[in-house]
Amino acid sequence: MNIPMLKIYILLTFSLAILCAAITALAIIFGQARPASMLAVLEVDPFATRLLVMDVDRPEFTSSIYLNIDICKLDWSPDGSRLVFSQLLPQISLVDRNVFSLSVLPFQTRQLTINDRDNRAPAWSPDGNQIAFIAVDDKQSVIYLMGAEGGGSRAIARLNVQVSVLRWSPDGRSIAVEFWNGGASLLNLVTGEMSALRAFAVDLAWSPDSQYLVYSAPHDGDSDLFLYDVAATTETLVMDTPENEVNPLFSVRGGLIAFIQQDMIDQVMLIKTIGSVPQALPLPQFSDIEGLRWSYDGRR
């Protein structure tokens, strides 16, 4: 290879490397933290999905694995030793997902469901012994429970709507069920009863003692916050303003509710009790805030 051609080759190689780096930088990256110091990150590009598990106390990623493109709903086990997720396996089906678990040490994937249903949105129980998931069966959304190692799944509820998210109560006695078209229900795992919540309720969040649910729902032309008393099955309007209040989240000890107030500029707000004046946090102005997360000590 002569010198001019070699220079062109080096230039093209360097340009391709920069392009690949740019594509990676533009990838959709999201993660979920475990209770201690492990973080799961999905790196998605048009050709592959890479799952990385890192120890945030060290700069390097501890492990990584390539998965199929269609992967969703990562959820850590309560002890932080495993992840559960659903993914599509094209060699088995082009439309149906299955549920998998991934152990961190050793780094190993295990398929938990093997069937011809579309299995979605797996969620660990608070004690780590069970996994709830959704299966689309004959145009119904069926909620199943299975053991943490897979197998022995049993249907606990059948709904004629598309379910999007399952949210266990901290005491493990109930599951809040959100629907794709808006709205939610509360499934009592002890009695098997399903209670409908306010129409188009979204962004459900449990109080730490499992006594309340807070959520956002349409009210007087905007979205306001409501508090649902699980035992009394009553609902109370928490916030009623001309703005939209969304993404409510109880603090770790349950004494505060953080939420986003949407107007020309989004603001992060705190409210202590029903009827109290909300407090705007002194943060930089944002045009679009997507979500909130409390730190584990409840101070941030």
pLDDT of residue 25: 32
Phi and psi of 174, rounded to 5°? Answer: -145, 160
d(CA 256, CA 54) in angstroms, rounded, equals 31
Given a contact cutoff of 8 angstroms between Cβ atoms, the answer to whether 186 and 197 are in contact is yes
pLDDT recorded at residue 147: 93
| pLDDT < 70 positions in the chain | 1-73, 88-95, 105-106, 264-265, 273-275, 281-300
Go through the domains of the chain in sequence order and give each one's CATH number.
28-196 (2.120.10.30), 220-300 (no CATH)
242 token code pair:
């001309």
Q: Is the pTM of this model over 0.85?
A: no
Q: What six digits make up the tokens of 88?
A: 């599509």
Amino acid 299: pLDDT: 57
**pLDDT for 146:** 94
pLDDT of residue 30: 36
Rounded Cα distance between 146 and 288, Å, is 38
